[in-house]
Every structure is written in C-alpha cells, then in structure tokens.
Amino acid sequence: MQDYAVAREYMVDCQVRPSDVTRYGIVEAMLAVPRERFVPSSKRPVAYAGESVELAKNRWLLDPRVFAKMIDSAEIEPGDDVLDIGCGMGYSSAVLSRLCRSVIAVENDEGMAKSAEETLSSLGCDNVAVLTGPLEAGAESEKPFDVILVQGGIGDVPQALFDQLSEGGRLVAIWMDGSFGQVKVSTKSELSVSHRWIFDAAAPILPGFSTQVAFTL
C-alpha cells in the first residue's frame, strides 16, 4: 500500500521547492492536504506524480509544480477572499483555504462539486463554499475578490471575472495559444487591467473560456 504522507513530502521536496516556491504557507499547505482524496480512486496511485491528473473527460487536476507556482504568483494574504474557478474535486480549494480568509469554489460539474463539498467538509475546510454553475460566470453575488485563480487553460478572461476583482486584485490563469501556454497575473487598477507573464505552462481550456484546443499532456 502506498504511503501517501511520504509521497506528499516527496512531491514538495522534489517538485515544489525546486521550482522556487519557498513561501512557508504554501509549502505547509501542500504538505498537509491529502491530494489523493481529491482524485478518482483509480487515480490515487498517481496523485503525487509530477503531472496533471485526469478527473473527468477533458478536466484535469493541475500538476503540483504549476499549481504551486500559480499560488505563489498570486501573493495571497491571510485576509484575502479568493475565488477558485474550476475547483474540480476540491484540492485547489483545500490548499487555498489554509492561505486566506475565505474561498468561493465554482465548479460546473455537479458530480465533482458534490465530491468537493463532501471531502472539504470532512477535512474541516470550514472557510470554503462550493457553488455549482458556469465557470466563466464566477460568483457575482460573492464579489469582490482579492484573488481569482483559474484551474485550467483559458483563451480569454470574460469581463465578468475582471468585474469581480477588488481594486488591486489579482487574477492568475494559464493563457493558451494553441498548444502553447503562459501563466499570467492580471492586476486590476482603477482604470485598467495589466498583465504580467510569470512562466510557461499548458493545460486544456476550461469549459466556457473558449473553443477547446488540441492538447497533449
């Protein structure tokens, strides 16, 4: 039987820290959250591999390195309210819950949303609320958010999501152009939104963010 606690330590030591993610809170959260609880049972043996894990058709849990670097670039503070778009089965929301004040998780797949809600509750993630609905719509009723993280690829960001950011808020997503992608931080100011490249990464485009492009993991 696989020792998942050992696998978590190996993931952090061999995938996260070597990617220059050294913030104590992120490292501690990824050591604490049982990633294997947030994937289909058949995928648990590869939950800590250095790759994305398929959750459902065309839906993936981002690989640990990319996910950790995205969180790091968001510069989340303990008092922040975070919107987690495409939370899947809830892993990203569980990690985020240890870094901020509150997390609103949005998932369009009812089965995954239900699984996320149940697992998050069983782990005591009391500052997370899971909403079921279109990913591109975000959570208008819960705005504003200090940080929005998109757990997959996008072709563009709907204006509705930028409208849900607070002044100085950051949106972090993987912008796809064909099979090539870049993680960018988009920061909202009073007059505009500025975009800053962080690193190269790729992921399938999430439902509602543009036409699906061919992508090979």
Total domains in the chain come to: 1
Per-residue pLDDT of the chain (217 residues; tens, 9 = 90+): 689 999 999 999 999 999 999 899 999 999 999 999 999 999 999 999 989 999 998 899 999 999 999 999 999 999 999 999 999 999 999 999 999 999 999 999 999 999 999 999 999 999 999 999 999 999 999 999 999 999 999 999 999 999 999 999 999 999 999 999 999 999 999 888 999 999 999 999 999 997 444 445 5
193-200 vs 53-56, strand pairing mode: unpaired
CATH number at residue 27: 3.40.50.150
Domain annotation covers residue 90: yes
Give me the domain span that covers residue 194. 4-200
pTM (two decimals): 0.94
Domain annotation covers residue 205: no
